Amino acid sequence: MNTQTRRNNPGVAVFLGTLWFIAYFGARALLERPLISSLAVRYLIAMLPVVLAGLTILAVARLVRRLDEMQLRIQVIALSTGFLLTALLLMALALAQYAEPSRFATIRLTEVWVAIPAIYFIGVATARRRFE
């Protein structure tokens, strides 16, 4: 594998993203049960996915810096679409909670944020179709 291929290889970002995903659900499973009473240990468990998310963001940023102009345009469209649709989703959920508090009181941000990557990938698919 030559240097250019290795530099554009998303393997590190995918690996870190997978660890982040596993760590998030693992931490959530541990923290939802009263198995660990030490507050310091609970915070360590809670912050592990945050650290992995930060490392994933850095790895993705390294990849994005190496994209060509067309791929950068696709990413800008996908991110802006993802941001706006996420804002729309959060606004709709917030207003629904005001409309019927008892029904929507159980929705947590931990359940909503997992939709954000799906929204982003919809933006990528839309942008790619536009430039085909």
* Structural domain boundaries in the chain: 1-65, 67-132
User: Are the C-beta atoms of residues 88 and 116 closer than 8 Å to each other?
Assistant: no
User: Which ranges in 1-132 belong to alpha helices (H)?
Assistant: 3-7, 11-32, 39-65, 69-99, 101-104, 109-112, 115-131
Among the listed residues 91, 117, 118, 94, the one whose alpha carbon sits nearest the alpha carbon of residue 107: 94
For residue 2, is pLDDT > 60?
A: no
pLDDT-derived band of residue 7, with 50, 70 and 90 as boundaries?
low
pLDDT-derived band of residue 99, with 50, 70 and 90 as boundaries?
confident
Distance CA 65, CA 79 (A): 15
pLDDT-derived band of residue 125, with 50, 70 and 90 as boundaries?
very high
